[in-house]
Amino acid sequence: MRRPRLHKVFKVENISGLSSFLSGNTEFSEELIKHTDVPWLDVLTSGPLPPNPAELLSSSRFRDLIDGLHPLYNFILFDTPPMLGLADAAITSTHTDGVILVVRSGQTPKEAAQQARKILDSVNAKVLGVVLNAINESNFKYGYYSYYQYYYQNYGSSEEK
C-alpha cells in the first residue's frame, strides 16, 4: 500500500483493494479479489494509496480479511515493503503462520538482513526461510555452483538410479 505494482505485473485493475477493505470503504466480496492469467493465482491489490498503511494493517479488519480468505485459499502470501524503516512487514507477520525473508544478493548488507531478523524475532514471527535473489553466478568462488549444478543434472543421487 506504499508503492503498489502487483496490479501492473498481473494486469488487473487497482480501483479497490486492500486499503479499500481495511478503511471500511468496501466489504469483503469476490469483487475484492482479482483473477490473474496465472492458473490458481488470484491477487488482492493494494487499492488507493492510504495515508496510514501501518495503522490499517494494525486494525481488526486485517484479521477479518485473513479469516475471510482462509476458507478460499490453501496459501495466502503478503508482499510487504522492506523490513527496515517501515512497520508494515512486522505488523503483517504477526497475523501469519510464517515469514519468508527476501534478500537481494550483492545489495542487501549483511547487517541489514540481521537487523530484519531481529525485528521479526521481536514480534515473535516464525521465519520459515530466506530467499536470496539476483544471484550473479560469476561471483561463486571457484565455480562450485556450476560444478554442483552439472553433477546433479547429469548424475543425481545414487538413490534415484
pLDDT digits (tens, 9 = 90+) for 26-80: 999 888 999 999 999 999 999 999 999 999 999 999 999 999 999 999 999 999 9
Pull the grid cell for residue 28: 469483503
Q: How confident is the model at residue 161 (pLDDT cuts 50, 70, 90)?
A: very low
Compute the residue count for the chain.
161
CA distance linking residue 17 with residue 137, whole number of Å: 38
Per domain, the residue ranges of the chain are: 1-79, 99-161
Q: Residue 149's Cα: distance from chain center in Å?
A: 28
CA distance linking residue 143 with residue 95, whole number of Å: 41
Does the model's pTM come out above 0.85? no
Average pLDDT over residues 85-90: 94
Q: How many helices (DSSP H) and strands (DSSP E) are in the chain?
A: 7, 4
* pLDDT for 84: 92
The identity of residue 58, as a single letter, is S
The identity of residue 157, as a single letter, is S
* pLDDT for 143: 54
Q: What digits encode the pLDDT tens for the residues 95-147?
A: 999 999 999 998 999 999 999 999 999 999 999 999 999 888 776 665 555 55
